[in-house]
């Protein structure tokens, strides 16, 4: 389970520290756990915060949001409520974030490790500032980017690719969400069974989605990757044939 300081929580939810404090003051957000003088938030807080932001964007007032959340919670224990929110907020990543220093990034990307590229990587969520260094939420993506740069692909184009990949995956995820909403979440469930039912749906979706995406990516790679060198190989064969005829 992830832990967040208030600034990390705000950044993950795409809001401000000031807004987090406002939602807390209005009792929309459960109080954090205290570790000395530091407030520690969990995945459950992140899910609740995103829910609040979503409802505000839909035009609900603070009082309406509080009333709806309270009504939903009224028939359930705090453990049920937080338990479901924890399941919703669990990371789907099979890798842990990695701390990286500016020196390491400079070694990986050379002169292309520029302020402009760093800013863009942070805007895309590929890097997060942490003190004098950085956090890579996905070390696999970071290493893949470094490998592409080492092959000669400009870092700017690697960042363009990362942005496009995220948009494409978001598009696929949108189809998945709509399919689940249409065929799974419309099933009538008794009130007392709602929490375990939705928790079970999420737990089953996680490995299913990851397995399907990995399998689809592997099939696509098997078709596409040979094309990378296909044209070049044809040129090489034609060149060799021409040399043989002249000999």
Instruction: Domain ranges for the chain, please list them.
Output: 3-89, 95-196
Instruction: For the chain, state the CA radius of gyration.
Output: 24
| Cβ–Cβ under 8 Å, residues 41 and 86 | no
What is the percent of the chain where pLDDT is above 90?
Answer: 30
CATH 3.40.50.300 holds for 3-89: no
How far is the C-alpha of 98 from the C-alpha of 81, rounded, in Å? 31
**Which pLDDT score, from 0 to 100, does residue 222 have?**
75
User: 81 vs 33, 47, 65, 71, 87, CA distance in Å?
Assistant: 16, 11, 16, 12, 10
- Report the pLDDT averaged over residues 3-18: 88
Closest CA to 161 of 115, 137, 135, 126: 126
pLDDT at 224 over 80: no
Which has more confidence, 231 or 186?
186
Instruction: Out of 45-54, 84-93, 114-123, give the one with best mean pLDDT.
Output: 114-123
Listed in sequence order, the residues at least 6 apart from 203 whose beta carbon sits closer than 8 Å to its beta carbon are 87
- Residue 123: pLDDT over 70: yes
Is pLDDT larger for residue 56 or for residue 47?
56
CB 125 within 8 A of CB 93: no
d(CA 13, CA 48): 10
CA distances to 29, 89, 163, 219, 245 from 43, in Å? 12, 5, 25, 34, 69
At residue 112, the pLDDT reads 95
Query: For 82-96, how does the pLDDT look when each residue is reduced to its tens digit (9 = 90+)?
Result: 555 555 555 555 677
Q: Tell me the pTM.
A: 0.60
Mean pLDDT for the stretch of residues 2-28: 89
- In the sheet with 38-42, reading across from the earlier edge strand, the strands are 3-4, 38-42, 33-35
Give pLDDT, residue 78: 45
The pLDDT of 173-185, averaged and rounded, is 83
């Amino acid at each position: 389970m992830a832990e967040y300081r208030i600034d990390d929580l705000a950044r993950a939810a795409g809001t401000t520290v000031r807004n987090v404090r406002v939602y807390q003051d209005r009792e929309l957000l459960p109080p954090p756990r205290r570790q000395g003088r530091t407030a520690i938030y969990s995945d459950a807080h992140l899910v609740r915060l995103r829910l609040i932001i979503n409802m505000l964007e839909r035009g609900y007032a603070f009082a309406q949001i509080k009333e709806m959340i309270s009504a939903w919670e009224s028939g359930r224990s705090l453990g049920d409520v937080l338990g479901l929110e924890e399941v919703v907020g669990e990371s789907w990543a099979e890798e842990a974030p990695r701390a990286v220093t500016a020196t390491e990034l400079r070694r990986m990307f050379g002169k292309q490790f520029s302020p402009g590229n760093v800013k863009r990587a942070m805007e895309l969520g590929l890097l997060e500032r942490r003190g004098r260094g950085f956090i890579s939420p996905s070390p696999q993506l970071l290493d893949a980017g470094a490998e592409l740069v080492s092959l000669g692909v400009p870092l700017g184009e690697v960042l363009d690719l990362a942005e496009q990949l995220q948009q494409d995956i978001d598009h696929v995820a949108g189809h998945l969400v709509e399919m689940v909403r249409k065929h799974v979440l419309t099933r009538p469930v008794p009130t007392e069974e709602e929490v375990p039912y939705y928790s079970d749906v999420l737990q089953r979706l996680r490995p299913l989605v990851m397995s399907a995406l990995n399998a689809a990516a592997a099939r696509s790679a098997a078709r596409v990757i040979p094309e990378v060198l296909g044209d070049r190989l044809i040129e090489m064969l034609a060149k060799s044939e021409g040399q043989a005829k002249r000999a």
